[in-house]
């Protein structure tokens, strides 16, 4: 019996220990931690913050913050003309090879520059009571194609007054560079914020291949760009010179009748925009309504140095008081 009792005493002790070990095995935290849930919570928080940021900047903009304007200076302008730096951003430097880059010549209300204020200008500019001296030309900026470029080459204009090249035209003035003080610059950047008189002569290089009305509409766009770039400047539009009889013949003839039509449309645009129109074409015509062959180089289109001097003399005697 004693031996049997001893056996019965050991069994409860073993069961008790196993029970304790089993209970200890199931002990642990009530809530188990999962790392994946934390990651999802973090991503969800980022999405909420980003959404709140977008809502704020789109529907509650800060009125104190205004867009910055690009005003700069890399080119030397004539005295009292201001400085301009070429903008590296080139939203306007890419233009189409077609003549009109705005369909039907239309622009949006925001893109249409306002007509310059002030008294109505008399066009064409009448002859002045007293001519200006040659020093006046040094205070001006001349923008144009080959004819203006050649005035600089011949020394009739100071280098810093000439913003032109023999490649510039109504088609590429937004992307073509001109040479100025041993550096290159686009003409719209060169006149940015200028306050000097600005003379424009454009059209000769496109009229042989494009109608007068389309060329005039492209000039309107150029003029609007110049008015926007230099609102403080007085702008003078020079009529396109006539061509010699030889230029009216050939595969791509340039007719004086086309030039006359184009210049008439330029006059209308100048009156509309209230800028000056200088009729240099009339000053260079002979009795037959053409350019004297002695005033034209071999192509019959571009002016000789002597003709360039006549053009500048006409400008000096047609400056409003």
Contact 212, 265 (CB under 8 A): yes
Helix (H) or strand (E) holding 276: strand 276-278
Number of residues written out for the chain: 321
- Read off the pLDDT of each residue in 246-267 and give the average, rounded to a whole number: 95
The number of distinct structural domains making up the chain is: 1
54-70 residues labelled b (16+ CB within 10 A) or e (exposed)? eeeeeeeeeeeeeeeee
For residue 158, the enclosing domain spans: 120-316
Give the residue, 231 or 111, on which the prediction is more confident: 231
Structure confidence by residue, pLDDT tens digits, 297-317: 999 999 999 999 999 999 999
Is 288 part of any domain? yes
Chain position carrying tokens 């454009």: 202
Is 256 part of any domain? yes
Q: Which of 17-21, 86-90, 250-254 has the lowest mean pLDDT?
A: 86-90
Structure confidence by residue, pLDDT tens digits, 206-218: 999 999 999 999 9
Is 59 part of any domain? no
Is 305 part of any domain? yes
How deeply is 93 buried, as exposed, middle or buried, from its count of CB atoms within 10 A (0-12, 13-18, 19+)? middle
Q: What is the CATH number of the domain that holds 278?
A: 3.40.50.1110
């Amino acid at each position: 019996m004693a031996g049997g009792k001893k056996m019965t005493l050991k069994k409860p002790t073993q069961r008790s220990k196993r029970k304790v070990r089993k209970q200890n095995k199931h002990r642990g935290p009530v809530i188990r931690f999962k790392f994946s849930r934390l990651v999802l919570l973090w991503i969800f928080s980022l999405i909420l913050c980003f959404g709140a940021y977008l809502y704020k900047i789109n529907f509650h903009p800060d009125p104190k913050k205004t867009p910055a304007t690009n005003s700069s200076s890399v080119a030397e302008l004539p005295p009292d003309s201001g400085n301009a730096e070429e903008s590296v951003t080139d939203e306007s430097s890419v233009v189409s090879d077609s003549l009109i880059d705005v369909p039907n010549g239309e622009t949006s209300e925001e893109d249409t520059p306002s007509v310059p204020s002030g008294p109505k200008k008399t066009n064409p500019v009448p002859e002045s009571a007293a001519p200006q001296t040659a020093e006046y030309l040094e205070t001006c900026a001349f923008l144009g194609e080959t004819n203006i470029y050649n005035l600089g080459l011949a020394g009739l204009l100071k280098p810093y007054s000439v913003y032109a090249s023999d490649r510039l035209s109504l088609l590429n003035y937004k992307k073509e560079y001109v040479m100025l003080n041993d550096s290159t610059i686009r003409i719209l950047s060169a006149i940015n914020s200028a306050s000097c008189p600005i003379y424009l002569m454009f059209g000769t290089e496109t009229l042989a291949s494009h109608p007068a009305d389309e060329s005039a509409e492209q000039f309107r766009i150029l003029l609007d760009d110049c008015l926007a770039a230099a609102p403080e400047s007085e702008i003078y539009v020079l009529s396109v010179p006539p061509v010699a009889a030889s230029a009216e013949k050939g595969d791509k003839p340039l007719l004086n009748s086309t030039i006359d039509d184009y210049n008439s449309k330029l006059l209308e645009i100048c009156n509309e925009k209230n800028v000056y129109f200088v009729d240099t074409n009339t000053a260079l015509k002979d009795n037959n309504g053409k350019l004297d062959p002695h005033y034209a180089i071999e192509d019959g289109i571009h002016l000789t140095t002597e003709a360039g001097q006549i053009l500048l003399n006409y400008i000096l005697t047609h400056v409003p008081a």
